[in-house]
């Protein structure tokens, strides 16, 4: 094989390899700055900007139905564990609840409910909670026979 061809192979292949990396980086960049506009942009509009500034979101978690009906918990920064286990924030006496049933977490003033692998599931409205879901005030969270609500 002629020397010039070998040199062409040598540099041509490296060029090809880096072209691939360049192409891969284009995809990475599209993900970071444009291509995933759907997901990136969808987060801010969910937080109604004007309203939340003053009140910092809901203040209380209220039990509206079930054995503990009427119980009220003041919300802070910490996550709230709901379940039958003694170390839960809200200890349920509900036969249909699991010992570690659900968790409510605060992310910058917004509360999310997350099912912790309970047997009977957690429902936000009628939707079974699979991953963390945003809870707006007044939306019923059903755990067994207990229904919880966030109140401002």
Give the β-pairing of 90-91 and 80-83.
parallel
Stretch that binds another protein, among 11-19, 49-57, 69-77, 90-98 (CB under 8 A): 11-19
How many residues make contact with another protein (CB under 8 A)? 41
Determine, following the binding rule CB under 8 A, whether residue 13 of this chain makes contact with another protein.
Answer: yes
**Among residues 14, 56, 72, 107, the one that binds another protein under rule CB under 8 A:** 14
Residues 95-134 that bind another protein (CB under 8 A): 117, 121, 123, 125-128, 130-134
Residues forming beta bridges with residue 80, ordered by sequence position: 104
- Binding footprint of another protein on the chain (CB under 8 A): 1, 5-7, 9-11, 13-14, 16-28, 30-31, 35, 38-39, 117, 121, 123, 125-128, 130-134, 139-140
């Amino acid at each position: 094989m002629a020397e010039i061809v070998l040199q062409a192979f040598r540099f041509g292949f490296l060029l090809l390899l880096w072209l691939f990396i360049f192409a891969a980086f284009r995809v990475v960049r599209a993900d970071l700055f444009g291509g995933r506009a759907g997901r990136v942009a969808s987060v801010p509009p969910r937080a109604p900007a004007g309203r939340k500034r003053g009140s910092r979101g809901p203040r209380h978690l209220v039990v509206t139905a079930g054995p503990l009906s009427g119980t009220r918990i003041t919300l802070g920064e910490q996550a709230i564990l709901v379940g039958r286990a003694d170390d839960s924030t809200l200890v349920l006496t509900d036969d249909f609840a699991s010992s570690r049933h659900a968790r409510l977490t605060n992310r910058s003033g917004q509360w999310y409910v997350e099912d912790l692998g309970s047997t009977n599931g957690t429902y936000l409205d009628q939707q079974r909670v699979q991953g963390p879901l945003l809870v707006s005030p007044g939306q019923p969270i059903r755990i067994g026979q207990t229904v919880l609500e966030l109140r401002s």
